[in-house]
Structure 1
Amino acid sequence: MSPLTGWGLVLAASALDWLVGDPLAWPHPVQVMGWGISRLRHGLEPWGRQQPRRLQLAGAALAATMVLLAMGAGMALEWGARRWPLLATPWLILAMASCLAGRSLGQRVTAVLERLGPSPDLPAARQALARIVGRDVAHLGRRDILRGAAESASENAVDGAFAPLFWMLVGVGLQAVLGDGAPGPVAMGWGFKAVSTMDSMVGYRQGTLRWLGTAAARLEDGMVWLPCRLAVLSLGVMLGRPWWLLTTARREGAADPSPNASVSMAAYAHAVGVRLGGRNRYGRQERDKPLLGTGHPDPQPASVVAMVHLTRRGLLLWLGLAGVLAC
């Protein structure tokens, strides 16, 4: 696959994602990945016998197996597209679109804002927010609901849009350099989605998962590290201050245990001029997240919408630069 052809397929997949998103009634590869992760976890966890070292080995086996299966399935689809292009290429584009979540993220964030409109419905807004955040939303007021929507829009933009696009473009580059036998955009995109899905299912610091989920959590952190910082630079380019935004976001996000989440949120906070972070409740526990964008006001609906628009412009910037490199 030539770089220009590969870029064209990624462009078509990105357009499909923005036009259609992820309809709930459609089957999705992540559902298959989730089923596989659950089955493997229940098979490996008893072997761990509550012993941290054994659980860490089980987690590493889980991560390696899921990544190899996901990438292998992607490479099989890419092989089919080379052999039967008219039949398999539409499935190739659909498979790549399934890696992206730009439209669905925007829709879910907008759904929260719609319920905070002229006639606010706080219970409905909390229910909509619960679909995109892990915190306890039962008693949140309008101010904290807006903060949750803004934090989801800024954090998940990297995990759901920039990072999968990055790894698909890496797949295009690998095939351009190493030939069609190398993992391509579907294989790399599905490999990342497998890691991201594992992190969301087992990457928690509680119970046996604090050891079983170690490999998935660290692998996800590693695969998001570079796309996160490139996304921050992209936002800075659009603002005309790329290095300042990257330096500021890294400094403010350094207090968070996650190497990526607060960096992304800090960048968006300064890009649209809002304050994020603070105390969140998770079940019976309360956690203080780093304060980001101090000196700015609390998020408002317009600033959350601005974050969604910034993500779209950033993705278009990436696609444009990739097209120039492909030519």
Structure 2
Amino acid sequence: MALQPGVLAVAAATGLDWFLGDPRWMLHPVVVMGWWIQALRRGLESWARDAPWRLRISGGLITVVLVVSSGLLGWAIEWVSRMAGVIGWTVLVIALASALAGRSLHDSVMEVLQALPEQATDEPTLARQQLSWIVGRDVTQLQRGGILRACAETASENAVDGLFAPLFWMAAGCLLWRLNPAAPGPLALALMFKASSTLDSMLGYRSGRLRWLGTAGARLDDLLTWLPCRLVMVSLPLVSAPWHRWFALVQAAEQDGAPDPSPNAGRSEAIYAHCAGVRLGGRNRYGATWVEKPLLAADQPEPDRQAIDTILNLTIRLELLWIVLLGLTQ
């Protein structure tokens, strides 16, 4: 049976993402979403000021406007792609690839590792600078071990946020197309997820006005990431270890990840920690605040370069598995 056009487009998009990544000369949809978030925030904050209930309403409005408009834009591109032949299909593939962050996450982590001095006694100034672009924690005092742990944790957590969650929603869009070709498809759903993820990254902080303004976006992002995160938990052991260890790895990841305040971040890091055989978690500094994260795979060694390579390679293998399974389900 021939593959559905949506599945072919998603498969092509994953290949394009790994081939090109996110070229710096190309305007990225997330950047545009960020502009809209800032503009909406400026306008609504002038009305809400410091009133919590007004800030919550403002955050809800920002969330609805950005997520719905992103979905409608993706749906419009899908309609145009059907009528524009090869050119339209190419535009659809490029747009889908822009919602995936597999290559950019891989390259960002590798840039930190390449900037890390070979000698542990050398000051890792450049590595800290590169790391500051991809993590939210304070990196100014991190030494070699802390930098390596931060790389391992961001490679495992952001694999779900930046790659597998949007890929899951693309697959859901392919299913919708199979049921009703006129329905919103893979791009519409992927852009809606990216909008919620961008809202969470820009507004989802528990300080100042964002404590109330970012609530809606953060809750929506948690909801939309919930199922993709659990699917990563149950599928990652299939590409990392003998199958007879599947239940033990999933059970251990659930036990370690559940205490994390985030319903998803702790579990995504935990399954990577157990599958890669590396200890993650511990004390992190965010601004002036120290946060104690639960230890993950506490009996394993601390991360080194080889462990981070293992985590990155697991992501590549799991993405291939998901694409194969998507094709088989059509």
Partner of 2:127: 125
Amino acid corresponding to residue 293 of structure 1 in structure 2: A
Query: 1:48: Cα distance to partner?
Result: 1.9
Cα pair 2:33 2:195 within 8 Å, conserved: yes
Aligned with 1:292: secondary structure?
A: coil
Please tell me whether residue 312 in structure 1 is matched to residue 313 in structure 2. Answer: no
For 1:78 and 1:95, the matched residues in 2 are separated by 10
Amino acid corresponding to residue 190 of structure 1 in structure 2: L
- Select between 234-243 and 6-15 the one with higher mean Cα deviation: 234-243
Partner of 2:270: 266
Please tell me whether residue 276 in structure 1 is matched to residue 277 in structure 2. Answer: no
For 2:3 and 2:327, the matched residues in 1 are separated by 9
For 1:226 and 1:315, the matched residues in 2 are separated by 16
Amino acid corresponding to residue 61 of structure 1 in structure 2: L
Please tell me whether residue 91 in structure 1 is matched to residue 95 in structure 2. Answer: no
Amino acid corresponding to residue 135 of structure 1 in structure 2: R
Q: After the TM superposition, which parts of structure 1 deviate over 6 Å for at least 4 consecutive aligned residues?
A: none
For 2:165 and 2:108, the matched residues in 1 are separated by 19
Query: 1:52: Cα distance to partner?
Result: 1.5
Q: 1:261-305, CA deviations, whole angstroms, 9 ceiling, x for partnerless residues? A: 010111111111111111111111111111111011100000001
Partner of 1:7: 7
Partner of 1:195: 196
Please tell me whether residue 45 in structure 1 is matched to residue 42 in structure 2. Answer: no
Query: 1:87: Cα distance to partner?
Result: 2.4
- Select between 119-128 and 264-273 the one with higher mean Cα deviation: 119-128
- Select between 80-89 and 210-219 the one with higher mean Cα deviation: 80-89
For 2:6 and 2:135, the matched residues in 1 are separated by 34
Query: 1:233: Cα distance to partner?
Result: 1.1
Q: Give the aligned length.
A: 324
Cα pair 1:154 1:268 within 8 Å, conserved: yes
Partner of 2:72: 72
Cα pair 1:172 1:185 within 8 Å, conserved: yes
Partner of 1:255: 259
Aligned with 2:281: secondary structure?
A: strand
Cα pair 1:115 1:121 within 8 Å, conserved: no
For 1:72 and 1:204, the matched residues in 2 are separated by 27
Q: 1:221-259, CA deviations, whole angstroms, 9 ceiling, x for partnerless residues? A: 010011011011111222223332222212111211100
Amino acid corresponding to residue 189 of structure 1 in structure 2: A
Q: 1:100-156, CA deviations, whole angstroms, 9 ceiling, x for partnerless residues? A: 000110001111111225356610111111111011111111000000000000100
* Seq. identity, %: 49
1:301 to 289, 298, 305: 305
Query: 1:49: Cα distance to partner?
Result: 3.2
Query: 1:53: Cα distance to partner?
Result: 1.7
Please tell me whether residue 60 in structure 1 is matched to residue 53 in structure 2. Answer: no
For 1:246 and 1:147, the matched residues in 2 are separated by 22
Partner of 1:205: 206
Amino acid corresponding to residue 201 of structure 1 in structure 2: M
Amino acid corresponding to residue 63 of structure 2 in structure 1: A
Partner of 2:26: 26
For 1:118 and 1:146, the matched residues in 2 are separated by 13
- Structure 2 unaligned regions, length at least 5: none
Partner of 1:224: 225
Cα pair 2:7 2:171 within 8 Å, conserved: yes
Q: 1:25-63, CA deviations, whole angstroms, 9 ceiling, x for partnerless residues? A: 211111111101111111112222322122111111111
Cα pair 1:3 1:172 within 8 Å, conserved: no
Partner of 2:109: 109
Partner of 1:184: 185
Aligned with 2:207: secondary structure?
A: coil
For 2:94 and 2:247, the matched residues in 1 are separated by 36
For 1:45 and 1:257, the matched residues in 2 are separated by 27
TM-score (ref. length: structure 1): 0.96
Amino acid corresponding to residue 236 of structure 1 in structure 2: P
